[in-house]
Amino acid sequence: MHKVLLLIVIPLLSYGFWLSDAFKGIAAGVSIFLFGMLSLEQGFKAFTGGVLERILQKTTDTAWKSFGFGFVSAALMQSSGLVSVITISFLSAGLLDLVAGIGIIFGSNLGTTTGAWLIAGLGLKVNIATYAMPLLVFGVLCVFQSGKQLKGIGYILTGLGFLLLGIHYMKESFEAFENTINLAEYAMPGIKGLLVYTAVGIIATIIMQSSHATMLLTITAVSVHQITYDNALALVIGANIGTTVTAIIASFGANIQGKRLAGSHLFINLFTGIFVLLFIKQFGIAVDVISANLGIAVSDNAMKLATFHSLFNLAGIILFFPFINRQVMLLERIFIEKRPAIFKPKYLDSSAMDFPETVVESVRLESIHLYENAIHIILRTFGLRKPDLQKNDLLKQLIEQHNHPIEYDIDAGYEKRIKGIYSAIIAFISQANFTWEMTQSSKLSWLREANKHTVEAIKDTKHLQKNWTRFRTSNNQATINEYNKIAYQIVLHIKQIENFRREIESNELPLLSLDALKATIRNDDMQMNRAIETLIREQKITPETGSSLINDSSYMRSIKKNLLKAAETLFLHGDTGTPGAEQQLTLNDTEINDVVQTVDTQ
């Protein structure tokens, strides 16, 4: 869809450029202005990840404080869209609640009107290009520095410079445009004009993704009498409605809170727009009165438009700000959170609390349930499912051929399959732990540890997933091979633990099989590290990739060890027939190391 639109817009613009130099100047002005906004956004991003969050927490604990924060940040960043996008991201991250989020939106709506004042009051009267030049020079100087914050300041200065330069270009081009075409000929009086120009304002803002750009065009055009004042008012209303699209687009990637906030932004601006359209005459009078009091000339439509812009957003605040809590309730009704089917505990029953052995067995079974879910998550990360473990010869091939473009969402998997059960187990154990004698208490303590190992294995898998996803599409075959090997060895280990479970059931010396699993973990780790060193030495992979591989092979080792420790407690719970004699033959650490050395020399 976007590509089709681009294919239409490019020839149209090209035709426009061929027709008119002034049009070319206006378009270039808008582009420079938008580029300035991008640069500004980039600059502010440099300050997220610490400073911004701290400020946010301190300044958004009441609705009024949130309002103030929104006002100041939008006035500084000159983009309500950017503020709402940042707010959505903070809301999604749980740093803000919806009330604070809506407060920020109100504040940013008003804060962004300072831009209109700047354009109308300064941009059109002073040669602002002279201010743009030093900003650009200092900005670019800072951008080339290595420090992150200095770079951020550089982008902010450059952004401001481009904003001013864009305004300058548009102003110049509109003045030239005035002599060739008179847009005022397309003026529409009455309600029809209001509705059509509101729609134009919405569309222009959606296309340019900036109400500022629309405001700039409108104010500049009205200052040179290219459009009528009444139509310009409608364009401002349209720009205010259209600006909510930025937040709506941002909310697609956000959670339900983000969607609610975007909904709120649309709700506030749309209904304020409708309200202002209904009472446009009264608003016109109010603008005249305020302008007269502020000493704005009757003929200075640009400044009057800036006044109208502020009045519009003030009206929105007066109308809806007192009802923030009701809005939240309404939004929660409209945007209902679809909770994923969360796995619930199967075996934990509080009525068993009086029977210590039953409680221990319930917790063990539930922990096995948790372990099974963890295995599901780990296998899915590598594109497999549990039945695939039976496909002995194809296992390696299945991992190598796994080329699904979207990686498995481990966080969602954790929320769905682990968190509920894990919390229930912890709660159950803590309820039971205090009342009983040592035997059961220590068994429960072991089971708690086993669950911790299971969860650790998932966390390690998440760390590993980052590079596994990144490098399996690498151009370097050696890197791909090593990452596939890491995945294969983890899967193989899971398979071996499954065999170990079967050995317990058939009493086929499970305790002794554990030694082989422990030795295999050490052996795999040693082989992997050696292979990586060789690849770096032979320059088949870069040292950077090598260091990633070394880190990830540590994750592999940790996943295996955690799974084995969990399995040992969960499955080997004293059911074996001859543990005494079997125990005598188990290997100690030194013996396991000897095994690894012997196998290595074979």
Partner 1 sequence: MKIEKLLHKLQAFFNTDRHKKRQHIEELRKILLKLKKKERKITLALHQIDDDDLSKHYQTELEVIRIQRKKGIEVLQQLKERKKT
Q: Which is nearer to partner 1, 527 or 529 (CB)?
A: 527
Is residue 586 a contact point for partner 1 (CB under 8 A)?
yes
Is residue 396 a contact point for partner 1 (CB under 8 A)?
yes
Q: How many CB atoms lie within 10 A of CB 392?
A: 8
Q: Which is nearer to partner 1, 220 or 496 (CB)?
A: 496
**Half-sphere exposure (Cβ direction) of 524: Cα atoms closer than 13 Å:** 26
CA–CA distance, 470 with 480 (Å, rounded to integer): 10
Q: Which of 489, 545, 562, 569 binds partner 1 (CB under 8 A)?
A: 489
Q: Which is nearer to partner 1, 59 or 481 (CB)?
A: 481
Q: Which stretch binds partner 1 (CB under 8 A): 125-133, 263-271, 543-551, 582-590?
A: 582-590
Q: 349-354 long-range contacts, Cβ below 8 Å, gap at least 24?
A: 350/428, 350/431, 353/431, 353/432
Q: What is the 3-state secondary structure (H, E, C) of 252-266?
A: HCCCHHHHHHHHHHH
CB of 395 to partner 1, least distance (A): 9
Q: Which helix (H) or strand (E) holds 283?
A: helix 280-294
Q: Which of 138, 271, 408, 488 binds partner 1 (CB under 8 A)?
A: 488
Q: Which of 492, 529, 565, 573 binds partner 1 (CB under 8 A)?
A: 492
Q: Which stretch binds partner 1 (CB under 8 A): 56-64, 93-101, 456-464, 488-496?
A: 488-496
CB of 483 to partner 1, least distance (A): 14
Q: How many CB atoms lie within 10 A of CB 294?
A: 10
Look at residues 25, 389, 332 and name the one whose alpha carbon lies nearest to residue 175.
25
Q: Which is nearer to partner 1, 505 or 594 (CB)?
A: 594
CB of 464 to partner 1, least distance (A): 17
CB of 77 to partner 1, least distance (A): 54
CA–CA distance, 327 with 316 (Å, rounded to integer): 13
CB of 363 to partner 1, least distance (A): 31
Is residue 595 a contact point for partner 1 (CB under 8 A)?
yes
Is residue 398 a contact point for partner 1 (CB under 8 A)?
no
CB of 588 to partner 1, least distance (A): 10
Q: Which is nearer to partner 1, 7 or 585 (CB)?
A: 585
Q: Which of 130, 282, 477, 598 binds partner 1 (CB under 8 A)?
A: 598
CB of 86 to partner 1, least distance (A): 47
Query: How many residues make contact with partner 1 (CB under 8 A)?
Result: 32
**Half-sphere exposure (Cβ direction) of 318: Cα atoms closer than 13 Å:** 8
Q: Tokens 């003026």 appear where? A: 187
Q: Tokens 């030239």 appear where? A: 176
Residues constituting the chain: 602
Q: 560-563 long-range contacts, Cβ below 8 Å, gap at least 24?
A: 560/489, 560/490, 560/493, 560/521, 560/524, 561/521, 562/453, 562/454, 562/456, 562/457, 562/460, 563/374, 563/375, 563/453, 563/454, 563/457, 563/493, 563/494, 563/497
3-state secondary structure of 145: coil
Q: Which of 210, 496, 558, 562 binds partner 1 (CB under 8 A)?
A: 496
3-state secondary structure of 201: helix
Q: Which is nearer to partner 1, 337 or 505 (CB)?
A: 505
Site for partner 1 in 504-543 (CB under 8 A): 508-509, 512, 515-516, 519-520, 523-524, 527
Is residue 594 a contact point for partner 1 (CB under 8 A)?
yes
Q: Which is nearer to partner 1, 287 or 596 (CB)?
A: 596
CB of 571 to partner 1, least distance (A): 18
Site for partner 1 in 163-222 (CB under 8 A): none
CB of 334 to partner 1, least distance (A): 54
Q: Which is nearer to partner 1, 396 or 452 (CB)?
A: 396
Is residue 599 a contact point for partner 1 (CB under 8 A)?
yes
CB of 563 to partner 1, least distance (A): 15
Is residue 602 a contact point for partner 1 (CB under 8 A)?
yes
Contacts of 343 (CB under 8 A, 6+ apart): 373, 416, 417, 418, 420, 421
Is residue 288 a contact point for partner 1 (CB under 8 A)?
no
- Reading the block at residue 102, the tokens are 């809506």
The string of DSSP codes covering 23-66 is HHHHHHHHHHHHHHHHHHHHHHHTTTTTHHHHHHHHH-SSHHHH
Instruction: Note the residues at the interface with partner 1 (CB under 8 A).
Output: 396, 485, 488-489, 492, 496, 508-509, 512, 515-516, 519-520, 523-524, 527, 578, 580-582, 584-587, 591-592, 594-596, 598-599, 602
